[in-house]
Amino acid sequence: MDFSLIAAAHAEAVTDAAHAAPKMDPLHHFQVHNYIDITPFGLDISISNSVLWMWIVVGVVFGLFHLAMKNPTLVPGRLQSVAEAGYLFVDTMINEIIGHGGKKFFPLIFTLFFFVLFCNWTGLIPGSFTVTSQLIVTGTLAMGIFGFCIFLGALHHGWKFLGFFVPHGLPPALLPLMVPIEIISFLARPVSLSVRLFANMTAGHTVLGVLFFFTALLEWFSPLPFGFTVVFTGMEIFIGFIQAYIFTILTCVYINDSLHMH
Amino acid sequence: MNDPSRGQPHGLSMAMRMSTDLVAAVFVGGGIGYLIDYWFNTKPWLTVIFFLFGLAAGFRNMYRSAMQGLPSQEGKGQGESTRTGGHSEEPPR
């Protein structure tokens, strides 16, 4: 995603919007606002639009899979074969990356994949809210995975898990150089995991927002930006899938690193 | 799109992984350096050193994910997983 292009388009559109009637604000749909304020003991657990859309996503995923597997047949119907393909997809991913002993993480990775996937996809419905465009959501997911991997490594290897930071077959003279590098690259994992998903979703939806405002602003020229929105929506569906895929495949890689250290 | 039967990472997903891995490691390295500088009042030095460490870590991350992509192509059909884990240094067989 080219941020400078977006920024230029935004600046240009702002000057335009000063004259035209509709207000240009492509970041408006990322704003979180509370529907019901719940703040017991100063703890903010209000029901915001983010929370609402997370519930909707969970409901949609649960409902779809429930519907698909309600009366399963040996020769699968349309919805059932989609569900089975999704199951196989995650299963192959786990077998490829974790391999031995990866089966018990299937529920975690399956849930993660479909939650992120449908968060990305429901955000494309006009008027909806993209849950994964909030850094706090993706960051919480990534920190949870990060903590889980440390816990798993400590559980399986005990103190030997600290050997994770010492690469194989390294001359001892290089240790003071390599150990900080390894520690930084380990700490960078949750950051890159969360920022990647958040940045891709935010950038894509900002571009969509800008294009839709152009459609509204340019009167007789509007078919052009509108055509771009159509193309970009397709692109966003693809990006949403790819991002969910990367998120889960990296979770698999991290769990694999904790399980089989070297 | 990805063909589930192959399980081989898509080129685009690989590119996205690598770019953010690099940037994130540099930011984390620089951030750690800045924090230590802030605590010990050694203003510019540790930031610079840890920035370079972060850069090295970023490149190491990129190298590692590139190496992780390769064995799944060649190790296909060998039954059990022979992937090089995250930290093995040997090139793919």
pLDDT at residue A8, as a whole number: 61
pLDDT at residue A170, as a whole number: 79
Report the residue of chain B nearest A96, measured CA to CA: B81
- Closest Cα partner for A102 from A111, A114, A86, A90? A90
User: Which residues between 115 and 144 in chain A have a beta carbon less than 8 angstroms from any beta carbon of chain B?
Assistant: none
Please tell me whether the interface predicted TM-score (ipTM) of this complex is above 0.90: no
| DSSP per-residue letters across B77-90 | TSSS-----TT--S
Residue with the bigger pLDDT between B8 and A130: it is: A130
Find chain B residues with C-beta within 8 A of A250's C-beta. Answer: 17
Q: How many CB pairs under 8 A join A and B?
A: 110
- Residue identified by tokens 């299963």 is A91
Q: Tell me the shortest Cα–Cα distance from A229 to chain B, in angstroms.
A: 21
pLDDT at residue A178, as a whole number: 86
Token couple for A166: 């010492």
pLDDT at residue A11, as a whole number: 59
Determine the residue among A135, A164, A179, A184 to mutate to test chain B binding: the one whose Cβ has the most chain B Cβ atoms within 10 Å.
A184
pLDDT at residue B83, as a whole number: 43
Find chain A residues with C-beta within 8 A of B58's C-beta. Answer: 185, 188
Residue with the bigger pLDDT between A198 and A6: it is: A198
**Confidence at A215, pLDDT banded by 50, 70, 90:** confident
* Chain center to CA of A152: 23
Name which of A152-166, A168-182, A239-253, B68-82 the model is least confident about: B68-82
Q: What CA–CA distance (Å, rounded) separates A207 from A226?
A: 12
Residue B16 contacts A, CB cutoff 8 Å:
yes
Determine the residue among A175, A192, A261 to mutate to test chain B binding: the one whose Cβ has the most chain B Cβ atoms within 10 Å.
A192
**Confidence at A5, pLDDT banded by 50, 70, 90:** low
Q: Nearest by CB to A89, which of B4, B23, B86? A: B4
- Cut 0.80: pTM above it: no
pLDDT at residue A138, as a whole number: 92
pLDDT at residue B55, as a whole number: 92
Task: Provide the mean pLDDT of chain A.
Answer: 84
Report the residue of chain B nearest A188, measured CA to CA: B25
In tens, the pLDDT along A82-124 reads 888 889 999 988 888 888 888 889 999 999 999 999 999 998 8
Residue A104 contacts B, CB cutoff 8 Å:
no
pLDDT at residue A191, as a whole number: 92
% of chain A beyond a pLDDT of 70 = 90
In tens, the pLDDT along B29-78 reads 999 999 999 898 887 888 898 999 999 999 988 888 787 655 444 444 43
Across the interface, do B16 and A97 touch by the CB < 8 Å criterion?
A: no
Name which of A60-64, A191-195, A231-235, B77-81 the model is least confident about: B77-81
- Closest Cα partner for A120 from A134, A105, A106? A134
pLDDT at residue A25, as a whole number: 74
pLDDT at residue A175, as a whole number: 83
Across the interface, do A188 and B21 touch by the CB < 8 Å criterion?
A: yes
In tens, the pLDDT along A26-69 reads 777 778 877 777 777 777 777 888 888 899 999 999 999 888 88
Across the interface, do A241 and B1 touch by the CB < 8 Å criterion?
A: yes
Residue B87 contacts A, CB cutoff 8 Å:
yes
Q: Nearest by CB to A262, which of B32, B68, B87? A: B87
**Confidence at A4, pLDDT banded by 50, 70, 90:** low
pLDDT at residue A19, as a whole number: 53
* pLDDT greater than 50 at residue B5: no
Q: Nearest by CB to A167, which of B29, B32, B89? A: B89
Q: What CA–CA distance (Å, rounded) separates B62 from B65?
A: 5
Contacts 24+ apart (CB under 8 A), B62-66: B62/B18, B62/B21, B62/B22, B64/A185, B65/B14, B65/B17, B65/B18, B65/B21, B66/B14, B66/B18
Q: E strand or H helix at A29, and its extent?
A: none
Angle between helices A175-217 and B11-40 (to 10 degrees): 120
